[in-house]
Chains A and B, each alone.
Chain A
Amino acid sequence: MPLAPTRSSTFPGAGEEVSSPDGLSGTVPRGIAVEVHDVTVAYQRKPVLWDVDVSIPTERLVAIIGPNGAGKTTLLKAILGLVPLASGDIRILGMPPRKARPFVAYVPQRESVDWDFPVSAMDVVLMGRYGRLGWFRRPGRKDREAAVAVLDQVGMADLAGRQISQLSGGQQQRVFLARALVQEARLYFMDEPFAGVDAATEKAIVLLLQRIRASGGTVVAVHHDLQTVPEYFDHVVMLNTRLVASGPTASAFSPENLHRTYGGRLTLLDQAMEAVRRSATPGASE
């Protein structure tokens, strides 16, 4: 594993991170973003994740897919240290999750918060700086500039002062993304970033994810729309309480694995198969 000192210099303790100037051209994973080792999570004694063992490479767009109740969100929260593990071990960039926090950004499900909360889009984005600010300190001019820059990146610069309940679903999702971006993290964990957003926002988000990957970041997203998996993501983790498969989309996102993940839900599968076929045919997707 070759070591490149470039972007890592500002992040002590992340030496194994490798930057590649040609982005995603290679197929061999050059670094490990997340290692999940034998993880079991249970709510009220009922296992939600059972003995999951998976490793996620860096500089990839990774989709976590699986049927409802498969434990997708739980896996994300387990990696972030938000739910207690019944057993197992998780390492992020080779570190325990607690130590990796400065390198990790989280985009929760949009419905998980009260959008009538008295804050503006700008206020929410600034929350992304709280972690690095530490106790008692307030966001300063630099933080505001960073917040304005990311709001501009997600196309929300002119809505910075607007109260969050006055934003559309797509705009709210963009604000959440901006809050993660302003953390300047290496790893982005997103819980259904495309849920309930309009087509324009979906396109904008995809471009944003690709930009994160191009600058050496990794995105792990819970994703629902099987049709878009091959187009948007280059790595999949297929989950149904147990890990079914994990690997590059080109090989892992196969009809057999989909069958094993989703069981008999055929209409859903047909759509997915269609997507697999399309992605297999050169020129069918961009």
Chain B
Amino acid sequence: MIAETWDIILLRDSTTRTVVAGTALLGLASGVIGTFAVLRRRSLVGDAVAHASLPGVCVAFFVVGDRHFPSLLIGALVFGLLGAGCIAAIREWTRIKEDAAIGLVLGTFFGLGIVLSGVIQRMPGGNRAGLDGFLFGKAASMVSSDAWTIGGTAAGTVALVALLFKEFRLLCFDREYAASSGIPVLWMDLLLLALVTTCTVAGLPAAGVVMVAALLIIPASAARFWTENLTVMTVIAGFFGVASAVVGTMVSATVIGPAGAFSRGLPTGPCITLAATAFFLLSMVFAPRRGVVADVWRLFSLRRELALQRPLRRVLRVDSPPETEA
């Protein structure tokens, strides 16, 4: 068992290597696109899209009648986009606010997905579908070709963001100004949503419907603590995404893995999420300038300085506040 654990960590097995490479690329893409989703305040849309894709997986299984990986992902993509479209439609054409629309779509689609997967599970051969893997993620269920599909999609997403970096930056910072300077903001918003959806769907097999949005939100939020520069933030978020995905995948495969690499183990999604959370907590507490420790330290040093100065100020009758560094 120890040997097998080391096999995974040292990437000795080629399937292990592919799966880890696939999830790493997925983590990278999620961190990168998540940065913009979070800054555009669209992070919950990613969560809704993820939940909305579950019935798509089930419908694809009904249609194809087998666990054919690309078909399941296409089903997920169609329903994910459908969910995103429903949110946009409700927001634009009714007076219901976006958060309520998100909750409504998320609940409805996810409920439908659970019902459908229940039906499938009762069908002959239904438990071969591996739908439980889609719920919480099961990197072990991936074969090499799946990992390549996921990795390719993720790489494409990262490339698009790199190409359109300045447009996305302006869209997220100041949408109306962007529109006034001729950027087609509606199409850019739709593209951002499409990339979030693609990334989410690509992440389903590894991270699962319930947890995949965490990979969008948490690395980006953690990265914000370390920098005031969007380019740097995007890179750090991508790094946290990779680290979370890789650590999470390995932990899920090794912690309870008596039967060997990726054949058993914890669900991958929660492991990835918890790994991301660890990075988030570290960032929140220890990041220079924006972190909690830095905040508390600044407050205390200001207090101490003021206390030390008080007698002197009284003597000199200085009224202006001390120069503080920004």
Q: What residues of chain A have their CB less than 8 Å away from a CB belonging to chain B?
A: 44, 77, 80-82, 101-102, 104-106, 108, 112-114, 117-120, 123-124, 127-128, 130-131, 133, 135-136, 138-139, 162-163, 166, 179, 183, 189
Which B residues are in CB contact (< 8 Å) with A189? 180
Q: Tell me if A118 and B224 are in contact (CB < 8 A).
A: yes
User: What's the least CB distance linking A80 to chain B, in Å?
Assistant: 5
Quick one: given A106-B177, A118-B233, are A130 and B166 in contact (CB under 8 Å)?
yes
Which A residues are in CB contact (< 8 Å) with B180? 80-82, 101, 104-106, 189
- Looking at the complex, which one of A106, A128, A136 makes contact with B176 (CB distance below 8 Å)? A106
- Looking at the complex, which one of B179, B182, B228 makes contact with A120 (CB distance below 8 Å)? B228
Q: Tell me if A101 and B182 are in contact (CB < 8 A).
A: yes
User: Given known contacts A114-B173, A130-B178, A133-B166, what 9 new A-B pairs fall within 8 Å (CB)?
Assistant: A101-B180, A105-B180, A117-B39, A117-B172, A117-B230, A118-B229, A127-B166, A127-B169, A136-B163
User: What's the least CB distance linking B172 to chain A, in Å?
Assistant: 7
Q: Which of A106, A117, A118, A130 has the most CB of B within 10 A?
A: A118
Which B residues are in CB contact (< 8 Å) with A139? 166
User: What's the least CB distance linking A256 to chain B, in Å?
Assistant: 35
CA distance A77 to B163 in the complex (A): 29
Q: Tell me if A108 and B174 are in contact (CB < 8 A).
A: yes
CA distance A117 to B230 in the complex (A): 8
CA distance A124 to B169 in the complex (A): 10
Q: Tell me if A130 and B181 are in contact (CB < 8 A).
A: yes
Q: Which of B178, B181, B183, B227 has the most CB of A within 10 A?
A: B181
Q: Tell me if A127 and B173 are in contact (CB < 8 A).
A: yes
Q: Tell me if A108 and B229 are in contact (CB < 8 A).
A: no
Q: Mark B227-247, 1 if CB is under 8 A from A, else 0.
A: 111100100000000000000
Which A residues are in CB contact (< 8 Å) with B166? 127, 130, 133, 138-139
CA distance A128 to B174 in the complex (A): 11
CA distance A106 to B176 in the complex (A): 9
Interface of B is mostly: helix
Q: Tell me if A130 and B167 are in contact (CB < 8 A).
A: yes
Q: Tell me if B228 and A163 are in contact (CB < 8 A).
A: yes
User: What's the least CB distance linking A90 to chain B, in Å?
Assistant: 14
Q: Tell me if B228 and A118 are in contact (CB < 8 A).
A: yes
Interface of A is mostly: mixed
Q: Tell me if B176 and A120 are in contact (CB < 8 A).
A: no
Q: Tell me if B182 and A131 are in contact (CB < 8 A).
A: yes
User: What's the least CB distance linking B252 to chain A, in Å?
Assistant: 32
Which B residues are in CB contact (< 8 Å) with A120? 228-229
Q: Tell me if B227 and A118 are in contact (CB < 8 A).
A: yes
User: What's the least CB distance linking A201 to chain B, in Å?
Assistant: 18
CA distance A71 to B268 in the complex (A): 53
Specify the chain B residue showing the minimal Cβ separation from A102.
B182
CA distance A123 to B229 in the complex (A): 9
CA distance A139 to B163 in the complex (A): 13
Specify the chain B residue showing the minimal Cβ separation from A119.
B230
Q: Tell me if A113 and B326 are in contact (CB < 8 A).
A: no
Which A residues are in CB contact (< 8 Å) with B95? 44
CA distance A136 to B160 in the complex (A): 10
Instruction: Determine whether B116 belongs to the interface, using a CB cutoff of 8 Å to chain A.
Output: no
CA distance A102 to B164 in the complex (A): 20
**Please, could you name 13 A-B residue pairs with CB atoms under 8 Å apart, sorted by A?**
A80-B179, A80-B180, A101-B180, A101-B182, A105-B180, A112-B176, A118-B39, A118-B227, A124-B173, A127-B169, A130-B183, A133-B166, A136-B164
Which A residues are in CB contact (< 8 Å) with B183? 130-131
Which B residues are in CB contact (< 8 Å) with A106? 176-177, 180-181
CA distance A227 to B170 in the complex (A): 35
CA distance A268 to B154 in the complex (A): 59
User: What's the least CB distance linking A85 to chain B, in Å?
Assistant: 15
Which A residues are in CB contact (< 8 Å) with B170? 127, 130
Q: Tell me if B176 and A117 are in contact (CB < 8 A).
A: no
8 Å CB contacts to A: which residues of B178-202? 178-183
Q: Tell me if A119 and B169 are in contact (CB < 8 A).
A: yes
Specify the chain A residue showing the minimal Cβ separation from B162.
A136
Which B residues are in CB contact (< 8 Å) with A119? 169, 173, 228-230
Specify the chain A residue showing the minimal Cβ separation from B233.
A118
Q: Tell me if A82 and B167 are in contact (CB < 8 A).
A: no
Q: Tell me if B174 and A82 are in contact (CB < 8 A).
A: no
Q: Tell me if A183 and B181 are in contact (CB < 8 A).
A: yes
User: What's the least CB distance linking B136 to chain A, in Å?
Assistant: 32
Q: Tell me if B230 and A123 are in contact (CB < 8 A).
A: yes
